[in-house]
Structure 1
Amino acid sequence: MNVLTNAVLTTGPGTASRTSPISVDGHTMAPDRLLRYLQIKVHHLIQDHDWDSVHVVGGYDRQAVISAHEKNGKLFNSERPTAQVNGRDLVIKAFPGADYVHHYALIIATYLFMTGKAADTVTYDLPDPAVSREAVKQLDLDLDGDLVIVGWGLAHLAPPDGTWTYGHGYAWQRTQVHGRRVVYLGFLHSIWGDVAGRVVTRLAELGARDVVYVGKVGALNPDIEPNTRLATGNTSLVGGRLVTWPDFFGDFATAQPGVHTGIHVTSPSILLENRDWLTEHAGHAFVDPEIGPMGAAAHRAGIGFGYLHVISNNLARHYPADLSNERHRDVVQRRTVLIGQIRDIIADRLAARPI
């Protein structure tokens, strides 16, 4: 397979940038796995038709054409970017975050290249920060010192008999755990990268005292098998700078069996995590797009933040499980066990020292 240089131009809002596909042969995912990852992300109108241009913008528009590849059956994070047809041109509308728009443009361009289609038709336009802030301000909860648990796996973390109350692109329910008010908050759309940081800022404005993020990270240590361990920590490398936050878990989570800790790396897109990137960050522990922005936002707001994640894939060694086959039964079963461990650690943390 030919190697193309990633020539994405990162510019300001309102300026369209052309997106080139990544260098496929240099990526940490094997080409067949990478293609499968892209196929489950790319809107069906792109997979089924050819377009003169594909332009990715920030906009949460559920009235546009919904992708046939949305993750039906999931309680949260089920929605994909939507599409608007303008003759021979296609506009893709992703939730308005700079990292997400950039990431999705890379996904489309790389998919088109890998399937033998013209990839030079893909452009993107970063959303204005004011638009991103306004989109996140649709989140409106009555909080008063609550612990907010946000992210993935909430169907297994929240009380099974609880009722979800729906807002604009999100749902929540409240309970008490060892005397502490706890709110479980899930989003129907992705809160990728910088959007996740804005969510923490918004939760602090609404009165949250602590935020815990439950999700998935990639391991940079080749010895960690996916879906067998949990990750936590209080430091992330964000844009070349280390960011540390007041850790909700303190030393509690790291003392539990099967929980790894270390310095996290914030990456705006899985597509950018090639072998050169891995060499540069090999001394770190984990990678994902959200933890760093969330921790930085919590630090600025003066609230506690903690993450407790399933290690879902390994960038340094190829294992049978990776980001291309997350829906396989064995993967789901293993993650269900780990989610149960996350639930117990959070509860035990509150029982040991209510905050």
Structure 2
Amino acid sequence: MTTLLADPARGLLRAAPINPFGHTMGGDRLLRYLEIKVHHLIQDQGWDSIRVLGGYDRTAVISRHEKSGKLFNIERPTAEAHGRDLVVKAFPGADYVQHYALIIATYLAMTGRPADIVTYQPPGQEECRTALKTLDLELDGDLVIVGWGLQCLAPKDGVWTYGHGYAWQRAEVAGRRVVYLGFLHSIWGDVAGRVVTRLAELGVGDVVYVGKVGSLTPGIEPNTWLATGNTSLLGGALVSWDDFFGDFAATQGGVRSGLHVSSPSILLEDRDWLARHATSYAFVDPEIGRMGVAACQAGIRFGYLHVISNNLATQYAADLSNERQGDVLHRRAVLVDRIHAIITGRLTGSAAHTLGGIR
């Protein structure tokens, strides 16, 4: 087993639990969300200290709460015990390490256990870059579609080729070479930006990200709409990119377009956060702004087409704590078909033809 301990010279940060009653998910729903994320060693026993670090180590103890029934984004952070101290290893990314530390601290506080034992050490820039050097594809101007729902977007008879923490397959769509790329681990936040940077190094032409966003607009029912756009608020500044979709996706039925906010952690999206952003912005997730900036820096096009999976401003039955329910899965399957049709329409150059609506 690989031992990964903190570097004291880099310092540790305390992960303070958030106030569950001020969060947009509400207390009960937030706890359900945390319970499906927290490593079983933390749920099952007590520790003197819990330290979250950047590291991709599948030889450490794998969580019993890892996802099933999916091809991608199934792996959770792993853990390694050192006596009464626990080291938790999340894929190297500053946002992901912070996010998972907040998850643990808030879970402990909500279950009546000491939360001040949780610290985290943000990984260094070189450590984060090195973690994605194992991504190695031969690209020559290809369109890469990365993210969620790929098993439905890619050809059903296609064969997935596996690398270190990822898998891919090739296809041709409307005469364009397309690579579908999925990761077994999370590409949360700044990790996703580095994925785009790495793909540009390998020769990608365009990147499309398919995933899920939260709505900041009241009355937008989850799992009934798609979201797109070309601008995000990142670190207090608006960033825009050369949009792969142009104005095509935004003109299709069942698609909403708007300004996006990049947030490093769902745990930070409380009601005060919502009040500051809801009047100007439509969507939130951790990755889109990071990927857009990386695409700009690399001189390539980027686009996103996401399912609106939850609503921070209006409470609906469906949220991030019950995503595996049958009705949610069915609705999302319909939306993934819609995403496939819009991407295909964009590649065939049918911008003058509006595809039929789904609502």
Answer yes or no: same fold by TM over 0.5. yes
Cα distance between partner residues in 2 of 1:147 and 1:155? 17
Q: Does 1:79 align with 2:71?
A: no
Quote the residue 1:155 is aligned against: 151
Q: Does 1:126 align with 2:126?
A: no
Q: Does 1:167 align with 2:159?
A: no
SS of 2:242's equivalent in the other structure is coil
Structure 1 residues 85, 57: CA separation in 2 closer, same or farther (over 3 Å shift)? same
The residue identity in structure 1 corresponding to 2:282 is A
Quote the residue 1:240 is aligned against: 236
Cα distance between partner residues in 2 of 1:182 and 1:189? 22
Q: Is the 8 A contact 1:26 1:275 kept in 2?
A: yes
The residue identity in structure 1 corresponding to 2:180 is Y
Quote the residue 1:60 is aligned against: 56
Output the TM-score relative to the length of structure 1: 0.96
Q: Can you give the 5+ residue segments of structure 2 that lack an aligned partner in the other structure?
A: 1-7, 352-359
Determine which of 307, 321, 324 is the counterpart of 1:324.
321
Determine which of 188, 197, 208 is the counterpart of 1:192.
188
Determine which of 288, 301, 315 is the counterpart of 1:291.
288
Q: Is the 8 A contact 1:13 1:127 kept in 2?
A: no
Output the TM-score relative to the length of structure 2: 0.94
Cα distance between partner residues in 1 of 2:68 and 2:261? 30
Q: Can you give the 5+ residue segments of structure 1 that lack an aligned partner in the other structure?
A: 1-11
Q: Does 1:49 align with 2:42?
A: no
Determine which of 332, 335, 341 is the counterpart of 1:335.
332
Q: How far off its partner does 1:13 sit?
A: 8.1
Q: Is the 8 A contact 1:137 1:202 kept in 2?
A: yes
Per-residue deviation, residues 312-336 of structure 1 (Å, max 9, x unmatched): 0000010000000000000000000
Quote the residue 1:230 is aligned against: 226
Cα distance between partner residues in 2 of 1:34 and 1:24? 7
Determine which of 305, 308, 312 is the counterpart of 1:311.
308
Quote the residue 2:3 is aligned against: none
Q: Does 1:271 align with 2:267?
A: yes
Determine which of 122, 128, 138 is the counterpart of 1:142.
138
Q: Is the 8 A contact 1:147 1:210 kept in 2?
A: yes
Cα distance between partner residues in 2 of 1:184 and 1:250? 21
Cα distance between partner residues in 2 of 1:61 and 1:353? 45
Cα distance between partner residues in 2 of 1:164 and 1:313? 30
Cα distance between partner residues in 2 of 1:68 and 1:14? 31
Per-residue deviation, residues 68-125 of structure 1 (Å, max 9, x unmatched): 0000221000000000010000000000000000000000000000000110100000
SS of 1:295's equivalent in the other structure is helix
SS of 2:89's equivalent in the other structure is strand
SS of 2:334's equivalent in the other structure is helix
Q: How far off its partner does 1:137 sit?
A: 1.2
SS of 2:310's equivalent in the other structure is strand
Q: Does 1:280 align with 2:272?
A: no
SS of 2:217's equivalent in the other structure is coil
The residue identity in structure 2 corresponding to 1:352 is G
Quote the residue 1:255 is aligned against: 251
The residue identity in structure 1 corresponding to 2:295 is A
Quote the residue 1:7 is aligned against: none
Per-residue deviation, residues 118-138 of structure 1 (Å, max 9, x unmatched): 101000001011000000111
The residue identity in structure 2 corresponding to 1:269 is S
Determine which of 24, 33, 36 is the counterpart of 2:29.
33
Q: Is the 8 A contact 1:138 1:168 kept in 2?
A: yes
Cα distance between partner residues in 1 of 2:191 and 2:31? 26
Runs of 4+ displaced beyond 2 Å? none
Quote the residue 2:102 is aligned against: 106
Q: How far off its partner does 1:353 sit?
A: 6.2
The residue identity in structure 2 corresponding to 1:244 is S
SS of 2:297's equivalent in the other structure is helix
Aligned CA RMSD, in angstroms, stands at: 1.1
The residue identity in structure 1 corresponding to 2:66 is E
SS of 1:56's equivalent in the other structure is strand
Over the matched positions of the two proteins, sequence identity in percent amounts to 72
Cα distance between partner residues in 2 of 1:239 and 1:341? 32
SS of 2:144's equivalent in the other structure is strand
Q: How far off its partner does 1:163 sit?
A: 0.3
Number of residues of Structure 1 aligned to a counterpart in Structure 2: 343
Cα distance between partner residues in 2 of 1:67 and 1:315? 28
Q: Is the 8 A contact 1:13 1:128 kept in 2?
A: no
